[in-house]
Amino acid sequence: MRGILYSVWSYRYFIVSSIKTDFKSRFARSKLGFIWMILHPLAQVLIYALILSAIISSKLPGIDSQYAYAIYLLAGMVGWTLFAEIVGRSLNIFIDNANLIKKMAFPKMTLPFIVVGTALVNFSLLFITMFIVFGLLGHIAISAIIWLPLLVLITLGLAVGIGLSLGTINVFLRDVGQIMNIVLQFWFWLTPVVYTISIVPEKYHTLLYLNPMVGVIEGYHSVLVYDKAPDFGLLLYPSIVALSTLALAFFLFKKANADMADLL
């Protein structure tokens, strides 16, 4: 573990350079550039708001705003987008970089750090945009913002642990990546991002909370929508899952590291 982290630190400039290259290549010859990273999730929020606002009341308890549902959606989408981007990109992280792995001698563990770094830049831009939108809608959530780093840390732990574990397995069993792309779509709808958990019958709440992202997204809503500290009881289970999946990810990576290049 210590050796892996030391080798990653030794290649920190490679990681930073790769993150910059990723953004440059992604938006090459694009007039709007990085603005597309913001427009896509905002467009998604607008679509959900227009379609679902008739089903879910635009007035949410504790929010005195006619735009309450849009605010709720934005807060949930910020957290979910960070999680889904890291998991989605991690599924093929070694496969997509097969040529690089074969041609260069570098720690493969730097690749997840590149994914996380890129996702955090996207998250920061979307978060800033969200706060601007909140200001325009007359919603200010400042006092509880100190808890946001904790939520981001748990989100990263879950995303990296799950994504890297499955990404390593995907090298040996390529169906994993295809299956998880479908699972992520169901996972989104099993997480209260576009609906409030109160509309789910109470008898299903225990089952719903087996999804570790439920407690995390509820935390984002508490901080960004209701301007209060998250329910730490709801964050305990996601934290345990995050630590467990991270340990599993490092174990699987250590076991598979030597054989990856031959299979890619």
Residue 65: its pLDDT value, please? 65
Give the angle subtended at the CA of 238 by the CAs of 243 and 2, to the nearest 5°. 15
Token pair, residue 94, equals 């070694």
CB environment 98-137: b (16+ within 10 A), e (fewer)? eeebeeeeebbbbbbbbbbbbbbbbbeebbebbbebbeee
Dist CA 209 CA 92 (whole Å) = 28
- Judged on CB neighbours under 10 Å (0-12, 13-18, 19+), 6 is exposed
* pTM for the predicted model, two decimal places: 0.87
Alpha-carbon gap, residue 228 to 142, rounded angstroms: 9
With vertex at residue 195, the alpha carbon angle to CA 194 and CA 197, rounded to the nearest 5 degrees, is 135
Which are the contacts of 208, defined by CB distance < 8 A and separation ≥ 6?
190, 192, 197, 200, 214
- Say if residues 100 and 81 touch (Cβ distance below 8 Å): no
Which one, of 56, 173, 74, lies nearest residue 126 by Cα? Answer: 74
CA torsion sign for 217, 49, 132, 117 is positive
The alpha carbons of the chain give a radius of gyration, in whole angstroms, of 19
Q: How far apart are CA 52 and CA 8, in angstroms?
A: 44
pLDDT given at position 2? 65
CA 35 centroid distance within chain:
19
Rounded distance between C-alpha atoms, residue 87 and residue 76, angstroms: 17
Residue burial 182-216, b: 16+ Cβ < 10 Å; e: rest: eeeeebbebbbbbbbbeeeeeeeeeeeeebbbbbb
Tell me what pLDDT residue 50 has. Answer: 66
pLDDT the model gives residue 159: 97
pLDDT per residue rounded down to tens, the chain (264 residues): 666 667 777 777 778 888 888 777 766 566 665 666 667 777 777 776 666 655 565 556 666 666 778 888 889 989 999 999 999 999 999 888 878 777 777 778 888 999 999 999 889 888 888 888 888 778 877 877 899 999 999 999 999 999 999 999 998 888 888 899 899 999 999 999 988 888 888 888 999 999 999 999 999 999 998 889 999 999 999 999 999 999 999 999 888 877 776 666
